[in-house]
Structure 1
Amino acid sequence: MAEYLDVIDDNGNLTGETVAREVAHRDGIRHRTSHLWLLRKKDGALQILLQKRSADKPSFPNCYDISSAGHIPAGGEFASSALRELKEELGITAEEKDLIVCGDRNVVWDCVFQGKPFHDRQISRVFIMRCDLEEDQFHIDPVEVDSVRWMDFEKCIHGVEQNTFLNCISLEELQMVRKKLSEKEKMW
């Protein structure tokens, strides 16, 4: 069964139309996603949780990625979708009050996956959330996620900048997280 997404205009406003996810990526139709980064302090260092994508994913298999992310289904909202994906992918239940908004990121990106053109046009709302679980305490969905890994936050930024580990992480998004963390320093 096809997954339907709300179509948005260049400013992120709903148009009242919906489109199948596959068509949105084939034709470059703007839609919305939620990105949630989990963070913790351990031994005085700030760490970020990276999700290693399943080897069976059609896009970016075996790459490290956002802690939890997903498309917003038609009629859905950013925060509720972030929480749903968190539960589905990592087995974590949280509440909207636990989420901190970092901002929205405009994504325009073109590629080819499995021989098919892929045109991504999305507005991603970026969230952060504190989570003190160990890697083996997550209940990952093996269809979506191979594993999770805590990484020193600054080491992650450096690794993405220098491409020292296999990832599909946006440096711009990590910088958004860094900026929000500097505003919320006492929380961490």
Structure 2
Amino acid sequence: MEHEKLSIMNDQHETIGVATRSDVHAQGLWHETFHFWLLKREHGTVYLYFQLRSPAKKDFPSLFDITAAGHFLAVEQPSDGLREIEEELGLSIPFKDLTYTGIIQDEIHLAPFIDREFCHVYLYMDQTEHMEVHLQKEEVAGLYRAKLLDAQQLLTGTCERIQIEGFEMNTSGERREESREVHVQDFVPHEPAYYEHLFHAINQFLSQ
């Protein structure tokens, strides 16, 4: 995975070459990623879903993050991001059913790791009564959801803790339902501007 070839960009989102994934993160090179956010409305309440990253992950183990996400390889198009949804969550969703909200720039600096991303952000409102989710245990340890308003307040800094609900998979593949109180430190440290753009896009999406 560290030897995958990614397109690299300048800060104006102009492609300037190709580099390995390990070099991209070591040198803090701009690159493109796919971000998929899953929503669901139940009894008038909208929920936003977060994956719990596997404790075996090299970066940000056991933290909550985007529902499904991944890097675009140098030869890939935005629709290739669907593989991340299928691999991590086991959901097959037509690309035409995703709502594209644009590109959000995001930077995470944790020495010796510098992640500079042009994030292609997509939203999807699940309409099924029961989602058939199958997690990729090497990547994802669980799937949780928060009330949208709670998530927005926590991740934009207007409250300190919220309650979330979901499930985790143990090492033998058994599913365990959970309810947890979480703080912002329990989430991958995306920039505040990322979340401001995200929640603005979600609220626009819901008002359509």
**Which TM-score bucket, shorter chain as reference?**
0.7 to 0.9
Distance 2:202 2:30 in 1: 29
How many residues of Structure 1 are paired with residues of Structure 2 in the alignment? Answer: 181
Could you report, residue by residue, the CA deviation over 1:129-165 in whole angstroms, capped at 9, with x for unpaired residues? 1124578731100000000012111111222224532
> 2:26 aligned with 1:6, yes or no?
no
Distance 1:48 1:30 in 2: 27
Could you report, residue by residue, the CA deviation over 1:45-98 in whole angstroms, capped at 9, with x for unpaired residues? 0101110000011111111110001111111122322x1100110011111211
Of Structure 1 and Structure 2, the greater helix share is in 1
1:155 corresponds to = 150
Secondary structure at 1:75 match in 2 = coil
1:183 CA displacement: 2.8
What TM-score results when the alignment is normalised by the length of structure 1? Answer: 0.87
Distance 2:195 2:126 in 1: 17
Cα 1:150–1:33 change in 2 (3 A) is same
Cα 1:72–1:134 change in 2 (3 A) is farther
Could you report, residue by residue, the CA deviation over 1:71-126 in whole angstroms, capped at 9, with x for unpaired residues? 11111122322x110011001111121111122111233103xxxx0011221111
1:77 corresponds to = 77
Sequence identity of aligned pairs in percent? 25
What TM-score results when the alignment is normalised by the length of structure 2? Answer: 0.79
Q: Which has the higher contact order (CA 8 A, sep 6+)?
A: 1
Aligned residue type for 2:153: H
1:41 corresponds to = 41
Give the alignment of 1:52-67 within 5 angstroms.
52-67=52-67
Cα 1:85–1:107 change in 2 (3 A) is same
2:91 corresponds to = 92
Cα 1:177–1:142 change in 2 (3 A) is same
What runs of 5+ residues in structure 2 fail to find an aligned partner? 162-181
Secondary structure at 1:128 match in 2 = strand
Cα 1:155–1:135 change in 2 (3 A) is farther
2:50 corresponds to = 50
Cα 1:48–1:169 change in 2 (3 A) is farther
CA RMSD of aligned residues (A): 2.0
